[in-house]
Amino acid sequence: MNNRFLILALLLPMLPSPAQADDWPQWRGPARDGTWNESGILSQFAAGNIQAKWRAPVSSGYTGPTVASGRVYLMDRLTKPAQTERILCYNEESGDFLWSHEYAAEYRNVQYVAGPRASVIIHKNRAYALGTMGTLHCLDAVTGDLVWARDLNEEYAIRMPIWGIAASPLIEGDLLILQIGGSPDACILALDLATGVERWRALEDRPSYSAPIVIDQGDIRVLTVWTGDSVAGLNPATGAVLWKHPFPPSQMVIGIATPVVSGDRLLVSSFYDGSLQLNLEADPPGANERWHRKGPNGRNTDALHSLISTPLIEDGYIYGIDAYGHMRCLDLDTGNRVWEDTTAVPTARWSTAHFVQNDKTTWIFNERGELLLTRLSPQGLTILSRAKLIEPTRDQLNSRGGVTWSHPAFANGHIFIRNDTELICADLRADSENSAHE
């Protein structure tokens, strides 16, 4: 071997590896689990306010951004001159507007009308977008051209939940899987990705707002859904029920947080009915209750009563935001409270924050528009750095000065987040202007 090549071969393992970069093409990231795997990210903010790389005007909506192949996708709503939902696409690097697909969307019997809820999901140059009233579009992700569309409310007589359709679509194999609460027996619906034709339907349950996930139970893929009446595991290819655990609400269907899985444990948490943990069995796939803990009401809670925030499970402990904004740590095995903290999130009814894990650092985006770098442990919450990212707005919630309830996207060293007036992008790389260089 040439000496120069020999020296290079010997040195390569010693050289620092390049920063890893990833897209964020669906709800809660590439694996749909709130994990951000990139490296080369800042560890301390340079100032109390994060500088935006770009800003783009948008209208109101709860939809969190998604990022794929150099483009950012979002949905919003206009009320004048007519009620309209829009699917929007922007250039990831510059924020330049690329295209919009607009359609009539009259909100009927829906509260909290700021706009669409479900994140756009991107797969093989197709964008799939589900509106508040059940209008579903498949678009060319590059051009915005319509591939196919369906009015699911019209076709499936959706038992419309009080806050509209909110569960973000899931892609598994060649299927687009949705929670819509259709009839008959179409709470969960699977459509052909290419054509939009129904492939299967399942469950007569009422719909919740919780996004479906797919997990592995042994060697078997299991579609896991938290509906308005149960937590269930389905065969994602056929819709056949593999297991089902009843979990009817005591007051109203209010399940929003995504189910969380760690090993053979599955957790769901709701505002009124507390937290339910199931043991997952592999052969055959099954689930049985390990514990269910709830307090008498939203003010007097036990364990964890989440609303919008999806809990985090890390190293045998559960971290989450309780009904009035108290951040809690629970023992995974028992649900016993380990500690409570009120510094990360304001104390208020339905107070919200989103957790995203990046290596040992937990990024918390709270409803005041602040971004926190933290470490979580049974000993407590350690805030490493904290800065303002975006202003709260009032369309999502017209009280306490407004909120920022949308989930951020973390992609290619940047964060993307929206309120009711703008979509912004900020650089979070270690060599960016937002980093306190050591």
Domain with residue 154: its CATH number is 2.130.10.10
Tell whether 232 is covered by a domain.
Answer: yes
Answer for the pair 403, 417: CB distance below 8 angstroms, yes or no. no
143 to each of 88, 91, 155, 258, how far by Cα in Å? 11, 12, 28, 31
Say how far apart CA 34 and CA 75 lie, in whole Å. 20
pLDDT over 80 (residue 16)? no
DSSP classification of residue 282 = T
Average pLDDT over every residue of 195-208 = 98
1: CB partners within 8 A, 6+ apart: 9
Q: Strand 327-331: give its sheet, edge to edge.
A: 312-314, 317-321, 327-331, 337-341
Backbone φ/ψ region at 109: left (φ over 0), alpha (ψ -120 to 50), beta: left
Token pair in block for residue 336: 């016993």
Say how far apart CA 407 and CA 318 lie, in whole Å. 20
Q: Residue 278: name the closest of 230, 256, 322, 245 by CA.
A: 245
Q: 129-162, pLDDT tens digit by residue? A: 999 999 999 999 999 999 999 999 999 999 999 9
Say how far apart CA 407 and CA 119 lie, in whole Å. 9
Token pair in block for residue 412: 């290619």
Tell whether 40 is covered by a domain.
Answer: yes
Q: What is the pLDDT of residue 20?
A: 59
What is the number of domains present in the chain? Answer: 1
Average pLDDT over every residue of 228-246 = 98
Determine the number of helices (DSSP H) and then strands (DSSP E) in the chain.
2, 32
pLDDT over 60 (residue 92)? yes
Tell whether 16 is covered by a domain.
Answer: no
Q: 346-388, pLDDT tens digit by residue? A: 999 999 999 999 999 999 999 999 999 999 999 999 999 999 9
pLDDT over 50 (residue 7)? no
Helix (H) or strand (E) holding 243: strand 241-246
Tell whether 284 is covered by a domain.
Answer: yes
Q: Strand 353-358: give its sheet, edge to edge.
A: 353-358, 361-366, 370-377, 380-388
Q: What is the pLDDT of residue 342?
A: 96
Mean pLDDT score across all residues of the chain: 95
Assign 204 a pLDDT band (cuts: 50, 70, 90).
very high
Token pair in block for residue 322: 């309780």
Beta bridge mates, 262: 265
> What is the DSSP secondary-structure string of 222-242?
EEEEE-SSEEEEE-TTT--EE
Q: 276-322, pLDDT tens digit by residue? A: 999 999 989 999 999 999 999 888 999 999 999 999 999 999 999 99
pLDDT over 90 (residue 4)? no
Tell whether 200 is covered by a domain.
Answer: yes
Measured from the Cβ of residue 357, the count of other Cβ atoms closer than 10 Å reads: 19
Measured from the Cβ of residue 364, the count of other Cβ atoms closer than 10 Å reads: 24
pLDDT over 50 (residue 202)? yes
Say how far apart CA 319 and CA 3 lie, in whole Å. 54
- Domain housing 273: 22-427
Answer for the pair 209, 255: CB distance below 8 angstroms, yes or no. yes
pLDDT over 50 (residue 15)? no
Assign 438 a pLDDT band (cuts: 50, 70, 90).
low
Burial 184-219 (b: 16+ CB within 10 A, else e): eebbbbbbebeebeebbbbbebbbbbbbbbbbebee
Tell whether 213 is covered by a domain.
Answer: yes
Average pLDDT over every residue of 174-180 = 98
Q: Lowest-pLDDT range, 14-18, 340-344, 396-400?
A: 14-18
